[in-house]
Structure 1
């Protein structure tokens, strides 16, 4: 019988090489972020100007970081006790409150959004303090995290009392401290590296969440239009882009940054892997919005500049992030694949620059071709005769 009053336990160390899967509680927790990402995409759909894009990114960062915080905690420390379940329930409440306040998150709902995020960090701080009390070997790391996150949470709480734009100044400072806290704890992380199989799976699941937005965008875009040949073709291209992004990301998880860090003593590769996922998931989410705008555009008229830049820029951002991950070996280390990703990003920017006057179906077709070429190149590299262990490939 499970002991539901058991303290947190260290989930890494001697058993770090054992296979570990996401728990049902973690999967349940992810559901609230499906809603949050959907709200973020809805905001961008309503305003794809530079200010709208800035607002989308500004709200996406704390939502993503909130998920990151609880995911890293569960990766290192976990127990299926009543207190842990209740704390996860509180996390879900704060994340749901963030989702509720996203629609006007930089306006009339900004105070509610800040309060929701801050309370979520407070719950995380309680969890780290609890883990440090029960696991002496992890106390230096948990103390550093609790202190750094507490300072950031305090700034978010104080921002509720300030008017705009000073409120956002404290948000910015709070996010910087939140992001910097793991970097200041590098010497404590080396002996407590994340679990090698569990964390990549969790990151993959969040990537699936944002990829789901691309699928929703295709369905929504087609359902709101009269079905004609060009709309159907554009929808097919939209699905091809999403499928290609899925293929290139999940088919290249042959290397793991945790194993690299453990073998070489380089914690920096884990942090690079962590922070590079932010532009990747932002790009995927924005890609879905870009596809939806193309499907809602008049098929016989040239695609407006904002829509063209959105779809090309979003996929280019994904390609750039993947190229960085390849280059530094935090996913499959492959110089040629990294170059293809980077050249793909360049081509997509070129389409955005020189594609003025093109029809929506033409723009999305070009983007889809660039995405498919990435997949074809990976398949070519994966032939049985290809030496994937060669660092020059």
Structure 2
């Protein structure tokens, strides 16, 4: 494919076995727009939790993460299969980036309305989401027209987009209560996720019914890059917590421990994420892509939730929080636990394997997190509790590096373990 110009090219589908396929500069730019969405969602969720509105903060954060991650996922799988990098493709990608920004601008109103409890003010948020999805609709229709062998599959994606966007628009303009909105949101979310599964799986042998030609190693890399972006929220949360300690007491032992805890936790979660041989397993078993692709929504939400939890810790250290020490530690420990559990479940489902060592490692991490909560309940400084939370992924990493890599090596039929994306 020529890179000297960007005139329109036929969207005929990429080679799913293309050698040395990597993320493009446009995809990396696209990902940067999602930094805004993750940041606003984490900040708003942390603020509500610190104010004592825990349920509203958690629900709003979960809903925001689904909307953000789902829009990213649909574009990313499409790009892996049909990226032409011509001017029209670039412009429609830019439109989706605009939608991400609009969605992020609408998040504060949505979070605030959850506290008020009257109705959900999600008009701006849904407008941003619809902008992203309409741009995606144009892409699917273009692929359907220019790639006849994938026509029926692409049109199935397009139909799902049209139906679900009508539903989101109704929820945005109708004066519905919080409970009605989230029931409708769950149903529409289920429909959004069912659409690709039906398009890719429930096919006949007729013309245009081929599965989209996504690239396994490319997809593993793309998901890994988004995981790094969500981990960036942990770095931001660490800086916020550290600033609170330094502002209160100057550079002390507590400040050093908070810096160690936040940075070490982010690093440990990154190391843990990259222990699963995603690329190789997806390459061998493309039929397992849906479990892996959808399950990572919970992974991304948990990683971003760790950053939000560190923001809650910053509020506590600044004495601007209505949540006690135990609740503050739980705000960090719970998303860490969710990540470790989901990540191991993902490993088992992707590799179709089970090892008692993994269960033992997760239980060990749970014990460390419980100890962190216990220290907070006992009145020890928050910095020590955060250090204990940091040690939870360390348990997983040490277990993998000493024994777990042998299990991965056996799964891959190789003499030594392979890292994710290798």
TM-score scaled to structure 1, two decimals?
0.89
The residue aligned with 2:233 is 213
Q: Distance in 1 between matches of 2:80 and 2:278?
A: 20
- Structure 2 residue 263 is the aligned partner of structure 1 residue 239: yes
Q: C-alpha displacement at 1:342, in angstroms?
A: 3.2
- Structure 2 residue 35 is the aligned partner of structure 1 residue 11: no
Q: Distance in 1 between matches of 2:56 and 2:326?
A: 15
Q: Distance in 2 between matches of 1:93 and 1:364?
A: 37
Contact 2:160 / 2:192 at 8 angstroms: preserved in 1? yes
Q: C-alpha displacement at 1:364, in angstroms?
A: 1.5
The residue aligned with 2:59 is 54
- Structure 2 residue 13 is the aligned partner of structure 1 residue 2: no
Contact 1:341 / 1:374 at 8 angstroms: preserved in 2? yes
**1:193-204 pair list within 5 angstroms:** 193-204=213-224
- Structure 2 residue 410 is the aligned partner of structure 1 residue 390: yes
Contact 1:283 / 1:315 at 8 angstroms: preserved in 2? yes
**1:180-329 pair list within 5 angstroms:** 180-185=194-199, 186-188=201-203, 191-226=211-246, 227=250, 228-253=252-277, 255-262=279-286, 267=287, 269-298=288-317, 304-329=325-350
Q: Secondary structure at the match of 2:410?
A: coil
Q: Distance in 2 between matches of 1:232 and 1:303?
A: 22
Listed one character per residue, the Cα deviations across residues 77-121 of structure 1 (whole Å, up to 9, x for unaligned) are 111211111111111111110011112224375111112212221
Q: C-alpha displacement at 1:75, in angstroms?
A: 0.8
Listed one character per residue, the Cα deviations across residues 128-180 of structure 1 (whole Å, up to 9, x for unaligned) are 01101010111121011111121111111122220132444443332121011
Q: Distance in 1 between matches of 2:133 and 2:357?
A: 38
The gaps in structure 1 that reach 5 residues or longer are: none
Contact 1:104 / 1:110 at 8 angstroms: preserved in 2? yes
The gaps in structure 2 that reach 5 residues or longer are: 114-119, 204-208, 418-422
Q: Distance in 2 between matches of 1:103 and 1:330?
A: 40
- Structure 2 residue 350 is the aligned partner of structure 1 residue 347: no
TM-score scaled to structure 2, two decimals?
0.83
Listed one character per residue, the Cα deviations across residues 220-279 of structure 1 (whole Å, up to 9, x for unaligned) are 2212332321122122112111101101112433654422324xxxx2x21111121111
How big is the alpha-carbon RMSD for the aligned residues of Structure 1 and Structure 2? 2.7
The change in CA–CA distance for 1:348 and 1:138 in structure 2 (over 3 A counts) is: farther
Q: C-alpha displacement at 1:361, in angstroms?
A: 2.3
User: Aligned pair count?
Assistant: 382
Q: C-alpha displacement at 1:305, in angstroms?
A: 2.9
The residue aligned with 1:34 is 35
The change in CA–CA distance for 1:367 and 1:353 in structure 2 (over 3 A counts) is: closer
The change in CA–CA distance for 1:349 and 1:164 in structure 2 (over 3 A counts) is: farther
The change in CA–CA distance for 1:156 and 1:74 in structure 2 (over 3 A counts) is: same
Q: Secondary structure at the match of 2:409?
A: coil
Q: Distance in 1 between matches of 2:369 and 2:260?
A: 22
Q: Distance in 1 between matches of 2:343 and 2:383?
A: 26
The residue aligned with 2:117 is none
Q: C-alpha displacement at 1:27, in angstroms?
A: 0.8
Contact 1:9 / 1:131 at 8 angstroms: preserved in 2? yes
Contact 2:95 / 2:132 at 8 angstroms: preserved in 1? yes
Q: Distance in 2 between matches of 1:69 and 1:82?
A: 20
Q: Secondary structure at the match of 2:276?
A: coil
Q: Distance in 2 between matches of 1:382 and 1:354?
A: 29
Q: Distance in 2 between matches of 1:303 and 1:167?
A: 31
Q: Secondary structure at the match of 2:7?
A: coil
Q: C-alpha displacement at 1:341, in angstroms?
A: 4.9
Q: C-alpha displacement at 1:286, in angstroms?
A: 1.2
The change in CA–CA distance for 1:274 and 1:230 in structure 2 (over 3 A counts) is: same
**1:77-92 pair list within 5 angstroms:** 77-92=82-97
